[in-house]
Amino acid sequence: MSAAAARPLVTVQSLESDMATDGAAANSVPLPDVMRAAIRPDIVTFVHGQISKNARQPYAVSNRAGHQTSAESWGTGRAVSRIPRVAGGGTHRAGQGAFGNMCRGGRMFAPTKIWRRWHRQVNVTQKRHAVVSAIAASAVPSLVLARGHKIEEVPELPLVVSDAAEAVEKTSAALKVLKQIGAHPDAEKAKDSQAIRAGKGKARNRRYVSRKGPLVVYGNEGAKLVKAFRNIPGVEIAHVSRLNLLKLAPGGHLGRFVIWTKYAFEKLDSIYGTFDKVSEKKNGYVLPRAKMINADLARIINSDEVQSVVKPIKKEVKKAPLKKNPLKNLNVMLKLNPYAKAAKRMALLAEAQRVKAKQDKLDKKRKPITKIITYFCCLSMHLRFWVYLYFIGSLLLVSQSRASLMQPGWKLPCPVYLSHSVICLLQEEASAINSASKSWYKTMISDSDYTEFENFTKWLGASQ
């Protein structure tokens, strides 16, 4: 709602009978504020619906209908239903059911009454709002087209005609006027659409139906134009200070094709006021304000003010991944703990090493004995005895002189019968067995509970 100075201009269409005195070919009038009011189809539908009830004539059935008998129920025991039956005799009517809505010739269910509420009250502001909306809608070409008017040849909407139109006297001249301003196709459409009504209405004094044509609005009282235009089929006339919603939005649908005379058009401002100025004719009335000042959503959304703070669209919506067990799935484990691979590898290697070491140890323990025995078996009886003696001797020697255990070159008096290599072998074997047994004793002590017993420790001689 910018200042009044920014109001767009509407050119007034000139007629042939116009004065050539106006130098400017196009006279122009500023657009009245009414035409920029908010268009509210909901209000118009509501108000139109209410107002159209106000011209109704009451209808009702006769209040005596169906009761003009003295029927009485026969009661039970006569093998007939209990509905009241017509008394008397000698005619078909006797004994027939009466009064009930189900009976032939009976009274209807809920007989219609004349005191039905036929008329509806509507708030004045609401009625004015509706009219204002309808006037504004008549200035929007798309709405007028949507309502079905043929305005393809109309030069401008709202269509304002010079005041010369108000002086038109003859209907033929009126038609010419319509042709000049491009409103004839609409009037023609109305004429062509005249047809007999479908339905019972045709027998109820509503025989013909036709489409609506243009609505001509004039400003001067008693203008000749009324008589000229009123006989043209489809064309309706209205004075600007008495605009009827039922004419501006026929059927509750916005966008009647309106032809304004210049005088009428200029009067609109004073009748309805502007957004700032109170109406002169309607006491204290100001044009209604729209809910949204700028209703162009696309423009608002794409404006710099909004876009500068807007975040980019989230196209990929993150979905939670299916949980996989890291203890079974290596890749998932590595995602969580990158060290897992190295740890696993080290563990595997360590395990392999351990297995190997154990095997070696076992082998070492088992191997030498078999060697000696095989050698032993090869010897003669005589030599075997000496080997055996020597072996035991070396063992005893080793066990007694612990300090000299690791001396490499200790000697034992040896018989000549045994070769040097055999002696070395025996010595090695003896020392190996001794060291093994010693370590075993040690673990036996440390892992056992026998350390509690003092005697035992003394026997084993194990201290530090």
Partner 1 sequence: MCRMAEKGGQIVPESVLKKQKRTEEWALAKKQEVAALKEKKSANRKLIYNRAKEYAKEYAAQERELIQLKREARLKGGFYVNPEAKLLFIIRIRGINAMHPTTKKILQLLRLRQIFNGVFLKVNKATVNMLHRVEPYVTFGYPNLKSVRELIYKRGFGKVNKQRIALTDNSIIEQTLGKHGIICIEDLIHEILTVGPHFKEANNFLWPFQLSAPLGGLERKRNHYVEGGDAGNREDYINELIRRMN
Chain contacts with partner 1 (rule: CB under 8 A):
302, 304, 307, 312, 320-321, 323-327, 332-333, 335-340, 342-343, 446-447, 451-452
Q: Which is nearer to partner 1, 113 or 341 (CB)?
A: 341
> In the bound complex, what is the minimum distance in angstroms from residue 389's beta carbon to partner 1?
39
Q: Which is nearer to partner 1, 75 or 461 (CB)?
A: 461
User: Distance between CA atoms of 12 and 7, rounded to whole angstroms?
Assistant: 15
User: Which one, 104 or 323, has the nearer CB to partner 1?
Assistant: 323
Can you read off the two tokens belonging to residue 155?
A: 């030069």
What is each CA distance from 346 to 339, 351, 354, 406, in whole angstroms?
11, 8, 12, 37
Residue 29 C-beta: closest distance to partner 1, Å: 23
Which residue, 89 or 312, has its beta carbon nearer to partner 1?
A: 312
Q: How far is the CB of 2 from partner 1 (least distance, A)?
A: 14
| Nearer CB in complex with partner 1: 333/405 | 333
Distances (CA, A) of 230 to 175, 210, 453: 11, 15, 138
- Among residues 340 and 414, whose Cβ is nearest to partner 1? 340
Closest by CA to 259, choosing from 180, 352, 362, is: 180
Least distance in Å: CB of 349 to partner 1?
A: 14
Q: Report in angstroms how near the CB of residue 314 gets to partner 1 at its nearest.
A: 11
**Considering the complex, what minimum distance in angstroms separates the CB of residue 39 from partner 1?**
22
Least spacing, CB of residue 300 vs partner 1, in Å = 12
Comparison of 206 and 458: residue with beta carbon closer to partner 1: 458
Residue whose entry in the numeric block shows the structure tokens 């003295």:
70
Minimum CB separation from partner 1 for residue 301, in Å? 10
Q: How far is the CB of 457 from partner 1 (least distance, A)?
A: 9
| Nearer CB in complex with partner 1: 363/452 | 452
Pick between residue 338 and residue 461 the one whose CB is nearest to partner 1: 338
Bridge partners, residue 238, by sequence: 217
